[in-house]
Amino acid sequence: MTSFLDRYADIAGPDVIAGLRQLGSHFAGQRVVHVNSTREGGGVAEILRWLLPSMQDVGLDAVWETIEGDETFFEMTKALHNGMQGQEVTLTTSMMAAYEEANRRAAERLGPLLREADYVYIHDPQPAMLRNLIGPTKGHWVWRCHIDCADRSRAAWKFLQPLVETYDASVYSMPQFAPTLKHAQFIIAPSIDPLSDKNRPLARSEIDGVRREYKLDPGRPLLVQVSRFDRFKDPVGVIKAFRLVRRYFPVQLVLAGGGATDDPEGATVLKAVQEEAAGDDDIHVLFLPGDAHLEVNALQRAADIIIQKSTREGFGLTVTEGMWKGKPVIGGNAGGIRLQVFDYQTGFLVDTPEGAAQRILYLLRHPARIRKQGEQAREFVRENFLLTRHLREYLTLLLGLSMGLSDRIYAQAPTADDKAATVTKPV
């Protein structure tokens, strides 16, 4: 039977898979526990969905747990999320109490597992207090921040910083996001799973089926933005750009997204978008369930140009997904989009709806450039943003944590005679 990682050998190369197994050989039987706040919706759950089986495939005993909470807990975590993204927020006493209570309950439920784990990855602010509540532990703890927190609010960071300081290391998607802390801070860009339902190749009939289902005209260019209905994704700005383009070119727009279970603001933003698009048959606002991966895949493949006009963005996995499907991206000049979109190479970075409209028109008038930039975008993702690179960096970090985080670590793969990894000084 083909193992989880072997399925990626044709895409990433067999040598890359062999390298991952080599790294993995240092962890045989060790346990890594990931904790986040939801199994459905949002980029973190998507990452964990492939990260778990791939870590298991290289020999780690990888486990995924979630923290649960009531409405006030999610109000608090949404406020923390918004605050980390730069919005001024107020954290009330009752919200902070709900946060602590949810973390305390999770600490009671997961305590034995977390205390005995060799490595613990805590994702984002929701379960960040677990480290403080769990007491002495055996393993190494890492806080993984997936948020664009370059301009974090003082209120949010004042609450989170003392919690995060207690970790052995923290990880961010870009250096701009890393605050000054006493522990080691690493930079790991996220990635996509090219074989997931959201990214795997589709038959033409599957794409046409989704076009028919959502009444999209196959004869006119299609612009697609896929993202949660979140003000930082600027869906209203996308509509504005679309209307500027339509003055000169017959186009149609899809704004597709769902709501993560930890995002109570989604409904408000969706309503604002629906009002803005009301009565316009060329704008398709699709609120999709969290498991509509094939529909998202088909919409991105049906698109001529992908848009992700975020004003704040952690990394922008929907950008990576669109590029993997061979599409140029009109991306907001924010966060990790800047790591992926290069003017005239893989799309264009824009700051305003007007800028987006101008670049969309440029591409629509030069269809050969749409194809060329799309091809370059796909190769760029293949080289840099597939899950194989991501897994390699996670494993490298774990190995580094277990060996003292020095600049250069010489790891001796365990043999039959020597199961222990060793550190030696460079020559």
Chain residues binding another protein by CB under 8 A are 15-16, 18-19, 22-23, 26, 150, 175-176, 178, 180, 184-189, 339, 342, 345-346, 376, 380, 383-385, 389, 392-393, 395-397, 399-400, 403, 405-413, 426-427
Q: Which is nearer to another protein, 136 or 426 (CB)?
A: 426
SS3 154: helix
Neighbours of 87 (CB within 10 A): 17
To the nearest whole angstrom, how small is the minimum distance from the Cβ of residue 389 to another protein?
A: 7
Q: Which is nearer to another protein, 306 or 397 (CB)?
A: 397
Q: Which is nearer to another protein, 79 or 397 (CB)?
A: 397
Q: Which is nearer to another protein, 187 or 267 (CB)?
A: 187
Exposure of 48 in the CB half-sphere (CA atoms within 13 A): 25
Q: Apex CA 343: angle with CA 325 and CA 187, to 5°?
A: 75
To the nearest whole angstrom, how small is the minimum distance from the Cβ of residue 16 to another protein?
A: 7
To the nearest whole angstrom, how small is the minimum distance from the Cβ of residue 400 to another protein?
A: 5
Separation of alpha carbons 389 and 411, rounded Å? 19
Contact of 381 with 323, CB cutoff 8 Å: yes
Instruction: Classify each residue of 375-394 as buried b or exposed e, where b means 16 or more C-beta atoms within 10 Å of its C-beta.
Output: ebbbebbbeebbbbbbbbeb
Q: Apex CA 354: angle with CA 352 and CA 355, to 5°?
A: 65
Separation of alpha carbons 417 and 413, rounded Å? 11
To the nearest whole angstrom, how small is the minimum distance from the Cβ of residue 359 to another protein?
A: 18
Contact of 258 with 111, CB cutoff 8 Å: no
To the nearest whole angstrom, how small is the minimum distance from the Cβ of residue 311 to another protein?
A: 12
Q: Is the dihedral of CA 151, 152, 154, 160 positive or negative?
A: negative
Residues in the chain: 427
To the nearest whole angstrom, how small is the minimum distance from the Cβ of residue 362 to another protein?
A: 19
Contact of 24 with 395, CB cutoff 8 Å: yes
Q: Apex CA 15: angle with CA 11 and CA 18, to 5°?
A: 105
Considering just the CA atoms, what is the radius of gyration of the chain in Å? 22
- Give the pair of three-digit tokens for residue 271: 């309503």
Q: Which is nearer to another protein, 224 or 386 (CB)?
A: 386
To the nearest whole angstrom, how small is the minimum distance from the Cβ of residue 276 to another protein?
A: 28
To the nearest whole angstrom, how small is the minimum distance from the Cβ of residue 58 to another protein?
A: 13
Q: Which is nearer to another protein, 170 or 297 (CB)?
A: 170
Separation of alpha carbons 135 and 124, rounded Å? 20
Q: Which of 195, 93, 149 is nearest to 335 (CA)?
A: 149
Q: Which is nearer to another protein, 52 or 184 (CB)?
A: 184
Q: Which is nearer to another protein, 176 or 196 (CB)?
A: 176
Q: Which is nearer to another protein, 302 or 377 (CB)?
A: 377
Residue type, 292: A
Strand arrangement of the beta sheet that strand 222-226 belongs to? 283-287, 252-257, 222-226, 305-308, 329-332, 347-350
To the nearest whole angstrom, how small is the minimum distance from the Cβ of residue 342 to another protein?
A: 5
To the nearest whole angstrom, how small is the minimum distance from the Cβ of residue 187 to another protein?
A: 4
Q: Which is nearer to another protein, 38 or 376 (CB)?
A: 376
